Structure 1
Amino acid sequence: MSDLPNLDHYWLPFTANRQFKSMPRLFQAAKGNYYTTIDDRRLLDGTAGLWCVAAGHGREEIAVSVANQLRTLDYAPAFQNSHPLAFEAAERLAQYMPPGLDRIFFTGSGSESADTALKIALAYHRVTGNPLRNKLVGRERGYHGVNFGGIAVGGIAGNRKAFGNGLAGVDHIRHTLDIGRNAFTRGLPQDGGIALANEFEQRITTLHDPATIAALIVEPMQGSAGVLLPPVGYLKRLREICDKHGILLIFDEVITGFGRLGTKFASDYFGVVPDIITCAKALTNGAVPMGAVAVKRDIYDAFMANSPAGGIELPHGYTYSAHPVACAAALATLDIFATEKLEDRAAGLSTHFEQVAHSLKGLPFVKDIRNLGLVAGIELESIPGKPGAAAFATYLKCYEMGVLVRYTGDILAISPPLTIEKDEIDRIFSTIGEALTTLAAEGEAGLDPTRHLKNEQQWVAHQQEIHQQHLILEHTA
């Protein structure tokens, strides 16, 4: 077992820091579909990191590309200058995108991509002579990162309530989850999509002048909120409504991009082409932070045609836009996708993945199972007064048993690397099933986090004891 680092100084994101530091889950290495924990145990990665390691961990091709780039050109100014790899990466990504979305703006993350897309949408209407189109519409339970624009159009209250008023001029439409009608649906729900999409038109017609709406932003499949699937026809109808009223349609594909649904993008899966796509995560296989926004060529051309000669067409960007090392990682990742056809691989595994995921139906706590491509959401019954307790305990139990899953509220989310094997898929879901059965047998006690990860807790206690001894020695010296 490696020494435990000093845990005092790092403030972990989206984490209960005090709880984490009482039983730290730390990784020291990763290869293929597995992590190695700091106490030298192998952990099957059921989440592709945070949806991002689509091609599996420790890819030598990416490591070599990044190392060579660091030795050649570690950084180039992003403003008023650039480097050849930025244009090569943009061209390659444009070729990977759905037809027409071939103008690329690079960012450093999915959050930055969302805010960039919103700013492009607002600025586009201004440069085309429609400055009154300044309202944005998102969706309940939507997740578009954590910058102010993203949390404004996002529909997760917990991500907004601590930070004040946020952006004005934002509305939301209803999310797509209807467990009462569609529980345990395999793949897309068949009913309700058109009516649900029509509510968008109702809302903007009744509460707003449609001519004031700049853009609608949605995740084709809502991932971070717990795998919420669009009913059949829903996204196509949204596209029709946006076209009818001159509203830009933005797909946030930070999670669904790069093979997750068995196609390059969810846009390809659903046969719906938006005006703007945001992406990140698997763009570099999670190796280097990077995001991108792809826009239709006529949007880009409008900025070029309607801006003063010699002027900056879009006053927006980041120090690390098209960072040379990130571009190298992206190109290496796109090469892997092209060579190994990971999208096709995901599509080929999706039926088995679906069957195994739904085998959990009828087990303790299981309220609903949702799946599409290589994504599954397992919604658990919420325990009165203890929201999220069952999912958190299941996550800890699976970790103990050597499988990493993700929990959000009362939902477990499974999204393994696209390099996953069938027997590993079996192991992920059988481990979840065993964990749920064990927790149910233990009753109230099984929900107590301190009953899990005893090794990690002993580790912390030992380190604290050593720390106290050092303090005593320093005091008596």
Structure 2
Amino acid sequence: MNEHVGQEFDNAALVSSDRGSFFHPFTAIADQQANGALVMVEAKGSRIIDASGKEFIDAAAGLWCVNVGYGRREISDAIAAQSQKLPYFHSFNGISNEPSIRLSEKLLSLAPKSMRRVFYGSSGSDANDTAVKMLWYYNICRGKPEKRKIISRDYAYHGVSVASGSLSGIPMVHQNFGIPLDFARHVSRPDLYRDAPLRQCHTEEAYSAYLANELDQMIRAEGADTVAGFVAEPVMGTGGVLPPPRGYFQEIQKVLNLYDVRLVADEVITGYGRTGTWFASEACGMKPDLILTAKGLTSGYLPLSAVFVGDQIWSVFEEASKDGRVFAHGFTYSGHPTCAAAALANLEIIEREGLVEHVAAIAGDFRAAFDAAIGGCAIVGEIRSAGLMMGVELVADRDTKAKLPATAKIAGRVATAARRHGVLVRGLPNSDIIALSPPFIVTEEEIALIATGLRNAIEDVTQELRSEGLI
């Protein structure tokens, strides 16, 4: 990678100031104090530069979100123009603004036809919180206030607020916070690599039937009259980059229909093209009542989430409003006009450049590059992908699938080693999995550089593990 010199940033001073002032999310305080921060200062396309002048390829698109790449002037111009015209106003009490109206129309034109309205927030976490309250309100309006429990999946990620963190199934999100709250339940995640063989499910369809039966048994045990919803990512992201087995959501839907349980599709990662379709839920055979989106809605340029409300839930809300009831939920920044302007510009780029179709077209080559580069590495157990999402599971032994000890922190070590080779990837929490999700505009040359950089990082760490006697 190129080394940029002559930058006007004092990296040492910034790192020192960061240590003394910035409380980082998902960061061990001791590590930050000991190692300092990686301070980013500039980005364009798929490349990002730190304060020391080192350039990286961002193979994670930030946190699964910078879909159109960095430095898009159209989005920056739209933000600047709207901030001069109407930078902010709230949307409570029937007040609206032009960008939010236009964005709502646009989103409904892209979404499944069963979607009727769009509700805005600022993040995937608040989108999940909104879904929880919509399910509760929906059932209260139907005279079923006891129908409140929501089922998610082990290792799913739905956010970190109190409600969304309860839906998440990642242990570190629960530890030390006293969650999950008592409305949340969890069933098994669909893990063809590790779980299906244990269940003696010899086909994907058999595994899907097994998981649907597990859900059925949980609903029966809890009481169908107490279960409001099932929330799932079409392709699990932070939980391991796990595409569903064949027939999974069709089998799940049968169970939900049987017990009057609504389906929530968490498309915070997958929405707006990440898997090669506008919404992955349609491609996966889901028939959701709510669709939750964020991240790629603005490509991360400004914070914005959108919850799509389907026919069945919206019709109940409309009927309830006739007796004066109000959905008393919302945020200061719901329908923020400048964020909506950023989203409109972002969606225009995606459509104009055919980026959703492009993701579908290059997905095979993306996967093939990593199969060739790291498929034979001693500690790579499996490579999983869907569109421009990829998970690389790291193991102590490929044949037995034996895990490395948690104390080895293998995913984090590989991610750190990849930085030395000019590539940014993510080590997923509570797992030995490396995730990749590059911007949609990533080039063939950059994919090759990412694959090579990751291979070199894995080889570096493999040598370390051998010297430590761990493999």
Partner of 1:196: 211
Aligned counterparts, 1:330-409, within 5 A: 330-359=343-372, 360-381=374-395, 385-387=405-407, 389-408=409-428, 409=431
How far apart are 1:283 and its partner, in Å? 0.3
1:324 to 337, 341, 350: 337
Q: Secondary structure at the match of 1:137?
A: strand
2:80 corresponds to 1:60 = no
Partner of 2:276: 262
2:36 corresponds to 1:16 = no
Aligned residues: 441
Partner of 1:46: 59
Aligned counterparts, 1:31-430, within 5 A: 31-80=44-93, 81-180=95-194, 192-205=207-220, 207-309=221-323, 311=324, 313-359=326-372, 360-381=374-395, 385-387=405-407, 389-408=409-428, 409-430=431-452
> RMSD of aligned C-alpha atoms?
2.0
How far apart are 1:361 and its partner, in Å? 2.0
Distance, in Å, in 1 between the alignment partners of 2:468 and 2:405 is 16
CA contact (8 A) 1:439 1:446 kept: no
Partner of 1:25: 38
CA contact (8 A) 1:250 1:277 kept: yes
How far apart are 1:182 and its partner, in Å? 6.8
How far apart are 1:384 and its partner, in Å? 5.0
- The TM-score, its normalising length taken from structure 2, stands at 0.89
* One-letter identity of the residue aligned with 1:417: P
* One-letter identity of the residue aligned with 1:14: F
CA contact (8 A) 2:411 2:427 kept: yes
How far apart are 1:166 and its partner, in Å? 4.2
How far apart are 1:44 and its partner, in Å? 0.5
CA contact (8 A) 1:357 1:376 kept: no
Partner of 1:467: none
Residues 14 and 414 (structure 1), Cα distance of their counterparts in 2 relative to 1, 3 Å cut: same
How far apart are 1:19 and its partner, in Å? 1.5
Q: Deviations over 1:367-396 (max 9, x none)?
A: 221111111101112675444522212111
* One-letter identity of the residue aligned with 2:277: T
Q: Secondary structure at the match of 1:179?
A: coil
CA contact (8 A) 2:394 2:432 kept: yes
Distance, in Å, in 2 between the alignment partners of 1:189 and 1:40 is 48
How far apart are 1:172 and its partner, in Å? 1.1
* One-letter identity of the residue aligned with 1:277: I
Q: Which sections of structure 2, spanning at least 5 residues, go unmatched?
A: 1-6, 198-202, 397-402
How far apart are 1:344 and its partner, in Å? 0.5
Distance, in Å, in 1 between the alignment partners of 2:116 and 2:322 is 23
Q: Which runs of 4+ in 1 moved over 3 A?
A: 180-183, 188-191, 382-388, 442-447
How far apart are 1:181 and its partner, in Å? 7.0
Distance, in Å, in 2 between the alignment partners of 1:445 and 1:11 is 35
CA contact (8 A) 1:304 1:313 kept: no
Distance, in Å, in 1 between the alignment partners of 2:456 and 2:149 is 48
Which one is further off, 174-183 or 24-33?
A: 174-183
Distance, in Å, in 2 between the alignment partners of 1:127 and 1:251 is 22
Distance, in Å, in 1 between the alignment partners of 2:180 and 2:102 is 37
1:434 to 451, 456, 469: 456
CA contact (8 A) 1:137 1:216 kept: yes
Distance, in Å, in 1 between the alignment partners of 2:318 and 2:367 is 46
How far apart are 1:273 and its partner, in Å? 2.1
How far apart are 1:272 and its partner, in Å? 2.1
Q: Secondary structure at the match of 1:102?
A: strand
Residues 429 and 71 (structure 1), Cα distance of their counterparts in 2 relative to 1, 3 Å cut: same
How far apart are 1:346 and its partner, in Å? 0.3
CA contact (8 A) 2:196 2:207 kept: no
Residues 398 and 248 (structure 1), Cα distance of their counterparts in 2 relative to 1, 3 Å cut: same
Distance, in Å, in 1 between the alignment partners of 2:156 and 2:408 is 19
CA contact (8 A) 1:128 1:302 kept: yes
Residues 200 and 443 (structure 1), Cα distance of their counterparts in 2 relative to 1, 3 Å cut: closer
Identity across the alignment (%): 33
Distance, in Å, in 1 between the alignment partners of 2:225 and 2:111 is 29
Residues 446 and 291 (structure 1), Cα distance of their counterparts in 2 relative to 1, 3 Å cut: farther
How far apart are 1:240 and its partner, in Å? 1.8
How far apart are 1:302 and its partner, in Å? 1.3
Q: Secondary structure at the match of 1:172?
A: strand
